[in-house]
Amino acid sequence: MKKQNILITGGFGLLGKPLILKLINLKYNVFILEKKKNSKRLVFLPKKPKKIIQGDFTNKELVGKIIKKNKIDVIFHLGAITQVLDSLKKPYETHSVNVMGTINFLENIRLINKKIIFIYSSSDKAYGELKKRKEYKESDTLDGVYPYDVSKSSSDLICQSYSKTYKMKVGIIRCGNIYGPGDLNLGRLIPEVILSTIAKKKFIIRSNGKARRDYVFVEDVADAYLKLFKKIKFSKDHLKIYNVSSKFNYSVLQVVNMILKKMNSVKLKSIVLNNSKQELNFQRLNYSKIKRDLRWKPKTDIQLGLEKTIAWYIKFYKFLKNNKRQQLK
Task: Look at the alpha carbons of 81, 84, 86, 90 in this order and tell me if their dihedral is positive or negative.
Answer: positive
Give the separation between CA 235 and CA 195, rounded to whole angstroms: 44
- DSSP assigned state of 277: T
Give the separation between CA 121 and CA 102, rounded to whole angstroms. Answer: 10
Distance CA 114, CA 94 (A): 27
Angstrom CA distances, 271 to 27, 230, 238, 275, stand at 47, 45, 48, 11
Amino acid at 218: V
Say whether 148 is catalytic.
yes
Catalytic residue among 120, 148, 179, 215: 148
Do residues 63 and 57 touch, judged by C-beta distance below 8 A?
Answer: yes
Are 294 and 242 in contact by the 8 Å Cβ rule? The answer is: yes
CB-based contact 162:168 (threshold 8 Å): yes
Angle made by CA atoms 268, 84, 16, in degrees to the nearest 5: 90
Q: How far out from the chain centre does Cα 152 lie?
A: 12
CB under 8 Å to 85, separation ≥6 — which residues? 206, 276
Burial of 184 (0-12, 13-18, 19+ CB in 10 A): middle
Residue type, 187: G
Q: Cα 97 from chain centroid?
A: 15
Residues identified as active-site: 148
